[in-house]
Amino acid sequence: MKLLRTTRRRAVAAGSLALTGALVLGACGSDDNTGTGGGTGGAQAAPGDVDCAGSGELLASGSSAQKNAVDQWVSDYQSSCPDVTVNYKATGSGAGIQEFLQGKTGFAGSDSVLKPEEVEASKKVCKDGEAINIPMLGGPIAVGYNVEGVDDLVLDSRTLARIFTGDVTSWDDPAIADLNPDADLPDTKIQPVHRSDESGTTDNFTRYLADAAPGAWPHEPGKKWPVPGGQSADGSAGVSAQVNQSEGAISYFELSYATANDIDTVRLDTGAAEPVEATSQNASKAIAAAKVTGTGSDLAMRLDYTTDAAGAYPLTLLTYEIACDTGNAKGSLAKVKSFLGYTASEAGQSKLGRLGYAPLPAEVAGKVRTTVESLS
């Protein structure tokens, strides 16, 4: 069965390569993040759609959901631009934003948009400017599970909410059995696992539950897990490893972690004719319906977590780079725009599908490229 699941996932990843769009990382330098680079001029062309500029280290931290994409980009970029070292630490969205606001990093990765008070605080870091939200990529939040003998599982938002509040505690509960009449469900105890760190993935997951199952999910959405007790782990890597190791476990994490660890994922009953699988292509259908709610150069977007459109996977996140619109440190600006230029290029974007990510719609991608070019 595991071989069949792996084959299916490889097919999904290959199919997503046909999707189009461009994504970026944004950056806002601080004087502690300058390395030895110079200004914005003097870029040196390099193979593979990379324009190398500057030298030294570019620091960033935040979202663990985007780490697999960033790791690929950094590897490819540094092979063409060996004079620049990009150091991205997957500390979680909350910690990444705090480090950015303290001026410790050039940009922060976040799976949720900045709060108004965070934008206000950013004015101390962004000289004569403020932080903006730049969408980098999208992707489904997979609900991964480990149940012996069950490799195809359907859940709806209400049942998911009841599982993660502790109301449904056994895998053969009638709420699950009704959605899976052909499955041989064991009486194994359900072990929900949540993020221990403040996480944009948690923010998106709890927003989905709050919007799609308001009667079963009584908590406000946010980066911090709101339900007391239960098992927890740090980062997407931590919770996915916990699921992989624990019989009866279930958790939420970016799809690439499920793919990498061969973890079965839930199909969502959204009210559409057929339950929807967590794939890059299905996430893109949900992202296409998202609306830009930011103003000016800020590209914050709002997803519809309650969509029942055919093939649209609503439990989807958009990962942002939190960057200064103006006020980048002169010493890091060249490196920032060089690296972002690569991530937005055809060469950079061609790597995303096989990693389980979904590109932005073409219209949004064009706005992203314009915003990156305007960073100063």
What is the DSSP secondary-structure string of 24-51?
-------GGG-TT---S---EEETTTEE
Indicate the burial class of 319 (C-beta count within 10 angstroms; 0-12, 13-18, 19 or more). buried
pLDDT at 211: 97
Q: What is the largest CA-CA distance in the chain?
A: 66
Beta strands in 220-361 (DSSP E): 231-233, 249-254, 264-265, 267-269, 291-292, 301-302, 316-324
Per-residue DSSP letters for 48-92? TTEEE---EEEEEEE-STTHHHHHHHHHHHHHH-TTEEEEEE---
Rounded to the nearest 5 percent, the helix, strand and coil shares of the chain are: 35, 20, 45
pLDDT at 177: 98
Per-residue pLDDT of the chain (376 residues; tens, 9 = 90+): 443 343 344 333 333 333 333 333 333 333 333 333 333 333 443 445 688 877 899 999 999 888 989 999 899 989 999 999 999 999 989 999 999 999 898 888 998 899 999 999 999 999 899 999 988 888 899 999 999 999 999 999 999 999 999 999 999 999 999 999 999 999 999 999 999 998 989 999 999 999 999 999 999 999 999 999 999 999 999 999 999 999 999 999 999 899 889 999 999 999 999 999 999 889 989 988 888 999 999 999 999 999 999 999 999 999 898 889 998 777 777 887 888 778 777 777 778 778 878 877 777 777 887 888 888 8
**Spatial CA neighbour of 28 closest among 292, 331, 318, 300:** 331
Q: How many other C-beta atoms lie within 10 A of the C-beta of residue 271?
A: 15
What is the signed CA dihedral for 45, 48, 49, 52, rounded to 10 degrees? -40
pLDDT at 40: 34
Show the tokens assigned to 81: 């631009």
pLDDT at 48: 57
Q: Under CATH, which architecture does the 15-137+319-374 domain have? A: 3-Layer(aba) Sandwich (3.40)
74 phi/psi in degrees, rounded to 5: -60, -45
The domain locations on the chain are: 15-137+319-374, 140-285
The CA-atom distances, in angstroms, between 288 and each of 239, 283, 316, 330 are 29, 9, 11, 36
Q: Is 258 helix (H, G, I), strand (E, B) or coil?
A: helix
Domains 15-137+319-374 and 140-285 fall in the same CATH topology: yes
The Cα–Cα gap between 208 and 291 comes to 16
pLDDT at 323: 85
Indicate the burial class of 246 (C-beta count within 10 angstroms; 0-12, 13-18, 19 or more). middle
pLDDT at 55: 87
pLDDT at 27: 31
Query: Which listed CATH number (3.30.70.2190, 3.20.20.140, 3.30.70.1110, 3.40.190.10) goes with 140-285?
Result: 3.40.190.10
